[in-house]
Amino acid sequence: MFDTPFGWIMISGVFFALLLYMVIVSPIVIDGHYRRSGNKDDAAFTVKLLYGLIKYRINVPFVRFTGKSIQLKEKISTTSAGQSDSHKQQEEIDAERVVRLIDQWKQLLEMTRDFTGVVKHALERVDVLRWRWTTSVGTGDAMWTAMATGLVWSIKTSAIGLLSQVVHLKSSPEMQVNPVYNRPAFTTEWSCIAQIRFGYAILAGLQLFIRLKKWKGGVKLWQNILFKA
């Protein structure tokens, strides 16, 4: 049977169906890390697709205020099929650009005001595999340090409570708040690993695209926010 054209067509069909299934069920893994110590910020995010064959990493080492604007410097690296590409970008955000971005976001929210159900359904498919959040806080005064410690704990527990309502926590969150009594201090470090099936992400993206197509200039506005903001 496999010596006939029909047999080869059937084998090819089964192969491509299996390949498509593997792509659909493959996870999109997002690994995020953020650390703030004093006035220094360090953030890195890695996105892995197709079982790690494609990797997209963004490093944001610092944010600098120049008085009239904010300068953002980031290093972006992409790995695909064993080949890597890396380049640096520098963005400058002034007051006029902030106003323009806010206006664009308002328009986008208006276009997607009925999209909350789709977003909620997509978030229900997200699995959080790891959540670590460690903070050290001190004011130089024992009483105020104790109050600040309690406030930070309250913020963290509230955040976890909200998070558990919209995504699936696959492991117990790891959180610490360490009081520093002898000096003013604030250091926080957060890391998270989350994943969603490729098929669910594509489905949510298609639903968003169809909704934006109904609005004049909706797709172009979305592209401007994603690639120019």
DSSP conformation letters of 2-45: TTSHHHHHHHHHHHHHHHHHHHHHSEEEEEEEEEEETTEEEEEE
Please give the backbone phi and psi of residue 209, each rounded to the nearest 5 degrees, phi first.
-60, -45
Residue with tokens 């659909």: 24
| Look-up of token digits 């509230």 | 158
pLDDT band for position 123 (50/70/90)?
A: confident
* Predicted local confidence at residue 65, as pLDDT: 47
Per residue in 25-42, pLDDT (tens digit) is 889 999 999 888 777 778
**Element holding 68 (H helix, E strand):** none
> Are 127 and 196 in contact, with CB atoms under 8 Å apart?
yes
Mean pLDDT of the chain: 76
Q: Which long-range contacts (CB under 8 A, 24 or more apart) does 44-49 make?
A: 49/198
Q: Comparing 107-111, 122-126, 201-205, which segment has the lowest mean pLDDT? A: 107-111
Largest CA distance in the chain: 84
Please give the Cα distance from 115 to 109 (Å, whole number). Answer: 9
Residue count of the chain, please give it: 229
Residues 6+ apart with CB under 8 A from 48: 28, 29, 30, 31, 54, 55
Phi, psi of 137 (to 5 degrees): -140, 140
> What's the sign of the alpha-carbon dihedral 157, 159, 162, 166?
negative
- What pLDDT band is residue 189 in, cutting at 50, 70 and 90? very high
Task: Kindly tell me if the per-residue pLDDT of 229 is higher than 50.
Answer: no
What type of residue is 134? T
pTM for the model stands at 0.69
Evaluate whether 104 touches 221 at the Cβ level (below 8 Å): yes
**Separation of alpha carbons 99 and 131, rounded Å:** 34
Please check whether residue 54 is in contact with residue 73, taking contact to mean a CB–CB distance below 8 angstroms. no
